């Protein structure tokens, strides 16, 4: 029997996703009092504390590969920290208690709380190089889109593959000064842009989903977010490619010393190895991916998305939580 138990727990299984969603729900709910209050650090701390508390009860031995930073700078959910109750499968974890802390602080859309999980040793540890140039789209882009090609060429090729007019293609890009030329090139190709203020994980996932207006998500964002997005894209059968974008020679060398490849296109399977990934996200504020936390009388309602690559499923989880159980922390949430 003991041998059988070992087999059962050797890899993360389907029940793990439903355990993890409790942690993202908790982080999202705890962040709510800080929506629109201008203090992104307070929002992040509240979400981190809640997520960590719930992760401690989950049946797994998780190692945070992508967390809130190094141990001395991030007291909790730091890179290398073990979470879970230590029983069950060994996993790599990427956490972002709030992807879009500045969105939350400003009261803007598209802030989410997220966790990505895969088998131990399968996530690329790109922590030494903070930025990554990415391209993300749905299955139609496989073998068609290539990050090494000019963006106009990719837009035309994707439009053809999707049977759409170029003018109907919509490309998500983080609204940053570094992307001024990229945005110009997208528009020059005839496509439209959707400029993201923050949170390119949701942008990448939306580009791979069937029911959104987004066709492509491109540009330089965080490397950790690229690896987390790859976990989600695996469950959706889409495409993600990433090229590390060190900001200077010193960071480039640190990356090389850590075994990372520069000027190299990382495929989905290199960002996250294997076919056993989970991605769980709960909306903090409303967005295209999920609705934000809602207060409805005595109830707090959350919406989450749960993706699992092994089964290729995308589940939506609507949960109603009794507000009194959260000790009145979010009295000023509007319905």
Architecture of domain 131-271: 3-Layer(aba) Sandwich (3.40)
Query: How many CA within 13 A on the CB side of residue 319?
Result: 22
* Model-wide pTM > 0.85: yes
Residue 99 in marked binding region: yes
Opening angle at CA 256, ends 76 and 276, nearest 5: 55
Q: Is 274 assigned to a binding site?
A: no
Q: What is the mean pLDDT of each run of 10 residues along the chain (335 residues)?
A: 43 78 95 90 91 91 86 75 90 90 86 94 93 97 98 98 97 96 98 90 92 94 93 94 97 97 97 93 93 93 94 92 72 38
| Residue 177 among known ligand-binding residues | yes
The response to whether 211 counts as a known ligand-binding position is: no
**pLDDT for the residue 11:** 66
Smallest CA-to-CA distance from 218 within 175, 176, 173, 258 is with 173
CATH architecture under which domain 16-121+276-325 falls: 2-Layer Sandwich (3.30)
Is 68 annotated to bind ligand? yes
Looking up tokens 């330089």 gives: 220
Q: Determine the pLDDT at residue 63.
A: 93
| 96 labeled binding residue | yes
Domain spans of the chain, in order of start: 16-121+276-325, 131-271
**Residue 44, annotated as binding a ligand:** yes
266 annotated to a ligand binding site: no
**Residue 331 labelled as part of a binding site:** no
- The answer on whether 225 is annotated among ligand-binding residues is yes
Which single residue is written with the structure tokens 């190089």? 129
Q: Give the pLDDT of residue 7.
A: 40
DSSP string, 23-92: HHHHHHHHHGGGTTSS-HHHHHHHHHHHHHHHHTTSSSEEEEEESSS-TTT-SSS-TT-EES-S-S-EEE
Q: What is the pLDDT of residue 107?
A: 85
Given this chain, do its domains 16-121+276-325 and 131-271 carry the same CATH topology?
no
- Determine if residue 198 is labeled as part of a ligand binding site: yes
Question: Is there a contact between 260 and 129 (Cβ–Cβ < 8 Å)?
Answer: yes
Any binding-site annotation on 121?
A: no
């Amino acid at each position: 029997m003991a041998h059988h138990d070992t087999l059962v727990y050797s890899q993360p299984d389907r029940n793990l996703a439903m355990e993890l969603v409790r942690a993202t729900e908790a982080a999202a709910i705890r962040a709510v009092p800080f929506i629109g209050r201008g203090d992104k650090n307070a929002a992040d701390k509240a979400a981190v504390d809640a997520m960590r508390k719930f992760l401690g009860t989950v049946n797994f031995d998780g190692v945070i590969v992508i967390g809130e930073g190094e141990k001395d700078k991030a007291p909790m959910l730091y890179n290398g920290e073990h979470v879970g109750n230590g029983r069950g499968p060994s996993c790599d974890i990427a956490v972002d208690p709030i992807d879009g802390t500045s969105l939350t602080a400003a009261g803007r859309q598209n802030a989410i709380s997220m966790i990505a999980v895969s088998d131990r040793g399968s996530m690329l540890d790109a922590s030494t190089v903070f930025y990554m140039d990415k391209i993300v789209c749905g299955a139609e882009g496989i073998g068609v889109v290539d990050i090494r090609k000019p963006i106009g060429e990719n837009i035309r090729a994707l439009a053809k593959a999707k049977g759409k007019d170029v003018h109907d293609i919509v490309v998500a890009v983080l609204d940053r000064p570094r992307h001024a030329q990229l945005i110009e090139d997208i528009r020059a190709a005839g496509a439209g842009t959707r400029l993201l203020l923050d949170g390119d994980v949701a942008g990448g996932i939306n580009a791979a989903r069937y029911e959104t207006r987004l066709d492509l998500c491109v540009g330089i964002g965080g490397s950790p977010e690229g690896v987390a997005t790859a976990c989600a894209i695996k469950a959706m059968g889409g495409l993600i490619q990433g090229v590390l974008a060190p900001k200077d020679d010193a960071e480039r060398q640190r990356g090389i010393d850590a075994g990372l490849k520069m000027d190299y296109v990382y495929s989905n399977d290199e960002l996250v190895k294997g076919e056993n990934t989970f991605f769980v996200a709960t909306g903090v504020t409303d967005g295209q991916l999920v609705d934000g936390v809602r207060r409805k009388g005595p109830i707090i309602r959350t919406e989450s998305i749960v993706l699992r690559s092994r089964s290729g499923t995308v589940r939506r989880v609507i949960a109603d939580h009794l507000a009194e159980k959260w000790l009145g922390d979010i009295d000023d949430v509007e319905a």
